[in-house]
Chains A and B, each alone.
Chain A
Amino acid sequence: SAVISQKPSRDICQRGTSLTIQCQVDSQVTMMFWYRQQPGQSLTLIATANQGSEATYESGFVIDKFPISRPNLTFSTLTVSNMSPEDSSIYLCSAGLERLPDTQYFGPGTRLTVL
């Protein structure tokens, strides 16, 4: 298995502010992704984090709201910008590993509450 760490693990934020979530993988990575899980729902892919270039966003998600960086192979950040209560969710980082191509692992998630 791999260790994928995320921080912060949880946060409570005020409406209109921004939060940056960090994701670090301890192994060589093929691909990195960011997911959102709204309360009581399944996981929805926000974007694929591309190393050294702009992320690839899914329908319904835009760069201005969810800017993503991936400066190297094993590290990525997701920013949730200009937050509203509807952004309250768990945000999960995920990665495919070079040494285990038939797996995809997830970080522990960041529980975000927006007041």
Chain B
Amino acid sequence: AQKITQTQPGMFVQEKEAVTLDCTYDTSDPSYGLFWYKQPSSGEMIFLIYQGSYDQQNATEGRYSLNFQKARKSANLVISASQLGDSAMYFCAMRVASGGSNYKLTFGKGTLLTVNP
């Protein structure tokens, strides 16, 4: 069975500092993808970053980077130079095959990040 675990219900960070949000996963499928999404209070789900299981390098997108440690089955999100607008719920998700060319995403419970001024 596929499982995503986010152990930090809430995190606090000072503006301009870096923060790491933890995510561990479990799957027996050798091919999978890992996503991070941001959900502000408005409710929309904003795609941040993606890491494929066969990617050799860690993914980066602007201030977001994904610390992918395959042997440990972890895919932590690092946000550098935090901004007040980064305050939101963050979800880690894993994409695995669900038959043929189909796939589906499984989500973690999320981490609520608060950036303090």
Residues of A with Cβ closer than 8 Å to B?
1, 31, 33, 37, 41-45, 48, 56, 90, 92, 94, 96, 102-106, 108-109, 111
- A104 touching B107 by the CB < 8 A rule? no
Could you say which residues of chain A place their CB within 8 Å of the CB of B37? 106
Of all chain A residues, which has the CB nearest B91?
Answer: A42
Partner of A109, one of B43, B103, B106: B43
The CA of A105 and the CA of B105, in the complex, are separated in Å by: 11
Which B residues are closer than 8 A to A by beta carbons?
33, 35, 37, 42-45, 47, 50, 52, 91, 93, 95, 98, 102-110
Contact partner of A104 (CB less than 8 A), chosen from B47, B98, B102, B109, is B47
Interchain CA distance A22-B108 in the complex, whole Å = 26
Expressed in whole angstroms, the Cα–Cα distance for A108 and B110 within the complex equals 18
Secondary structure class of chain A's binding surface, majority of residues: strand
30 contacts across the A-B interface (CB closer than 8 A): A1-B47, A31-B102, A31-B103, A33-B104, A37-B43, A41-B109, A42-B108, A43-B45, A45-B104, A45-B106, A48-B104, A56-B98, A56-B102, A92-B45, A94-B45, A94-B105, A96-B103, A102-B50, A103-B47, A104-B35, A104-B47, A104-B95, A105-B47, A106-B37, A106-B44, A106-B47, A108-B43, A108-B44, A109-B44, A109-B45
